[in-house]
Amino acid sequence: MLDSNVVVSGLLWSGPPRTLLALAAAPGNAALTSPQLLAELERVLGRSHLRERAARLGWTPADLVAAFARATRVLEAPPIPPTCRDRDDDMVLAVAAAGGAELVVTGDADLLVLGEACGARIVTVAEAIRRLGGG
C-alpha cells in the first residue's frame, strides 16, 4: 500500500519513490488503492505546480492516475475505527486492511509514528525498497 505522497513523488521525479513504484508493479507484488485514494491522487496532481511538472513530462493528472490505477489492485475499503492523528490517513489504513497489505509505505509522520496498524508495517520508502529486494 503506497501513500499518495509516495505515489506523487514516484510518478513525477526519479529517485527512490520511482524505484519503489517499479518494484510494487513487479510480478509477485501488488500495490493497492481505492477509488477514493485515486480521486485524492488526481486532486493532488491537479495542484498547479504538480500539474505543470506533469505537463513538462508530457502527462496530465488524469493520465498519471489512469497509469497508476492500471498498475494497482483497486478495491473498495470499508471504514476502520479512528486510528491516525490525521483522520484522513485512516483511508490509507482501511485499504491496507481490506487488501491484506504487508506494508504501508509513506513519508507521512502521522502514519509512520504508528509503526504498525491493521496488520501492516508502516515504513519509509527506503525500508520498503530494502524489504522488496531493491536495495
Note down pLDDT in tens along the chain; length 135 residues.
999 999 999 999 999 999 999 999 888 888 999 999 999 999 999 999 999 999 999 999 999 999 999 999 999 999 999 899 888 899 999 999 999 999 999 999 999 999 999 999 999 999 999 998 876
Sheet containing strand 116-117, strands side by side: 103-105, 120-123, 116-117
Kindly state whether residue 47 falls inside one of the protein's structural domains.
no
Kindly state whether residue 97 falls inside one of the protein's structural domains.
yes
Kindly state whether residue 112 falls inside one of the protein's structural domains.
yes
Indicate the burial class of 133 (C-beta count within 10 angstroms; 0-12, 13-18, 19 or more): exposed
Confidence at residue 38, expressed as pLDDT on a 0 to 100 scale: 98
pTM for the full model? 0.93
**Number of domain units in the chain:** 1
> Count of alpha carbons within 13 Å of 45, Cβ hemisphere only?
27
Residue type, 28: G
User: Domain range spanning residue 16?
Assistant: 4-34+71-131
Kindly state whether residue 21 falls inside one of the protein's structural domains.
yes
Kindly state whether residue 63 falls inside one of the protein's structural domains.
no
Residue type, 57: L
